[in-house]
């Protein structure tokens, strides 16, 4: 049975919201019944902390695919990781996982009026790093930023805190991810 590890911060962490709706990994399990889905998200984490747990929380599972969704905390004023370190951290993750097994996901925009430590101009710089790395390394990329930014869709996809995805946001992200996985394996003999 192939394994998908979802590696990230609070946008990945937890199986269900405080309101009781399924977040990312439970939605994936419903469709990818022949896969083992591992949630390796940790709330509040940056890429620096993620590197420290990469072996135990990702690589030990011998994953077939890994999603990487970091940036919302790396770009925040109170936890800021410089762009050069952020890029290096993501590159190290890809080196250890392999580009062919990596699905990079850009962080979504935030509602700035509700997020005193984050703004979209700074966050976009981190998004652009993910786009650049994806192209350079040949990784799969889901540009969540672009999808959510169209017509300011993110106002409908985020919780009241202006940062975390709501039920609609997780439905949207899980559909994008399932489409990507199906595209990866459409020519292979894997049954999803």
Judge whether 62 lies within some domain.
yes
Judge whether 191 lies within some domain.
no
- Cα-based distances in Å from 70 to 35, 46, 167: 23, 7, 20
- Average of pLDDT values for 155-182? 94
CATH number at residue 134: 3.40.50.1110
Q: Are 45 and 12 in contact (CB under 8 A)?
A: no
Judge whether 139 lies within some domain.
yes
The structure's pTM equals 0.94
Judge whether 78 lies within some domain.
yes
d(CA 94, CA 135) in angstroms, rounded, equals 13
pLDDT at 191: 46
Query: Based on the structure, what is the number of domains in the chain?
Result: 1
Judge whether 190 lies within some domain.
no
Q: Are 3 and 35 in contact (CB under 8 A)?
A: yes
Judge whether 192 lies within some domain.
no
Q: Which residue range is the domain that position 175 belongs to?
A: 3-185
Alpha-helix runs per DSSP H in the chain: 24-31, 47-57, 83-97, 120-137, 144-149, 154-157, 167-185
pLDDT at 96: 98
Say if residue 23's pLDDT is above 50: yes
């Amino acid at each position: 049975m192939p394994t998908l590890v979802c590696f990230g911060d609070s946008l990945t962490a937890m199986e269900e919201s405080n309101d009781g709706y399924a977040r990312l990994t439970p939605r994936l399990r419903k469709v990818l019944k022949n896969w083992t889905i591992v949630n390796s998200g940790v709330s509040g984490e940056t890429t620096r902390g993620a590197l420290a747990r990469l072996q135990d929380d990702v690589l030990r599972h011998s994953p077939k695919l890994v999603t990487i969704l970091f940036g919302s905390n790396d770009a925040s004023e109170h936890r800021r990781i410089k762009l050069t370190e952020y890029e290096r951290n993501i590159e190290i993750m890809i080196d250890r996982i392999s580009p062919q097994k990596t699905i990079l996901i850009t962080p979504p925009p935030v509602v700035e009026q509700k997020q005193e430590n984050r703004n979209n101009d700074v966050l976009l710089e981190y998004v652009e790093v993910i786009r650049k790395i994806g192209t350079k390394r040949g990784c799969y990329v889901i540009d969540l930023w672009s999808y959510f930014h169209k017509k300011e869709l993110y106002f409908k996809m985020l919780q009241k805190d202006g940062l975390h995805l709501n039920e609609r946001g997780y439905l949207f992200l899980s559909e994008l991810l399932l489409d990507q996985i199906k595209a990866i394996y459409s020519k292979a003999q894997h049954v999803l």
